[in-house]
């Protein structure tokens, strides 16, 4: 089996169950080490809902993963329990704007929300990722708004 080029990142979703279980986190760390994957190539994506169920345990596990050099992305941002005070406490590296916003960029209100999320990411020094881009027009619109990823 061939290897992915070294500059290709890998993203994986972690469920509520995954982020709350030490055995799952231990297994992920062991697999990364066993296969020699550079941790800085990996992003684990979690949702706000996953964090809210077992907050303290999830935060401890996130810190373990980040300590290895792994990035953590908050997935589906804007559709869950988005709270600015909650967001300010989370040890995350990236925010993924939910596809439900990206597919409606032609609506003025939605475009303003996406712009605000991008500004929030810039202020908090977080990478901002737009997910669910399906048309060249959406891609060009996001690029014109300053979205890089």
> So what's the pLDDT on residue 77?
81
pLDDT of residue 15: 86
Domain map (residue ranges) of the chain: 10-78+88-92, 98-149
Average pLDDT estimate for 36-41: 92
At residue 53, the pLDDT reads 72
Rg (CA), the chain: 16
Mean pLDDT (the chain, rounded): 87
pLDDT of residue 78: 73
| Percent of the chain at pLDDT exceeding 70 | 93
- The structure's pTM equals 0.86
pLDDT at 136: 92
* Mean pLDDT confidence for 79-85: 66
Q: In sequence order, what are the residues at sequence separation of 6 or more whose Cβ sits closer than 8 angstroms to the Cβ of residue 62?
A: 19, 46, 72, 91, 92
Q: Which two tokens stand for residue 97?
A: 């704007």
Q: What is the pLDDT of residue 81?
A: 62
């Amino acid at each position: 089996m061939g290897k992915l080029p070294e500059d290709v990142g890998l993203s994986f979703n972690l469920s509520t169950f995954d982020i709350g279980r030490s055995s799952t986190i231990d297994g992920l760390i062991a697999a990364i080490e066993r296969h020699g994957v550079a941790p800085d190539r990996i992003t684990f994506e979690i949702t706000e809902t996953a964090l809210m169920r077992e907050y303290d345990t999830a935060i401890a596990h996130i810190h373990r993963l980040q300590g290895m050099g792994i990035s953590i992305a908050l997935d589906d941002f804007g559709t869950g329990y988005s709270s600015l005070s909650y967001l300010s406490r989370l040890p995350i590296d990236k925010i993924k704007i939910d596809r439900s916003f990206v597919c409606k960029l032609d609506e003025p209100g939605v475009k303003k929300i996406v712009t605000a999320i991008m500004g929030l990411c810039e202020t908090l020094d977080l990478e901002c990722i737009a997910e669910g881009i399906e048309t060249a027009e959406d891609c060009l619109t996001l690029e014109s708004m300053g979205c890089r990823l």
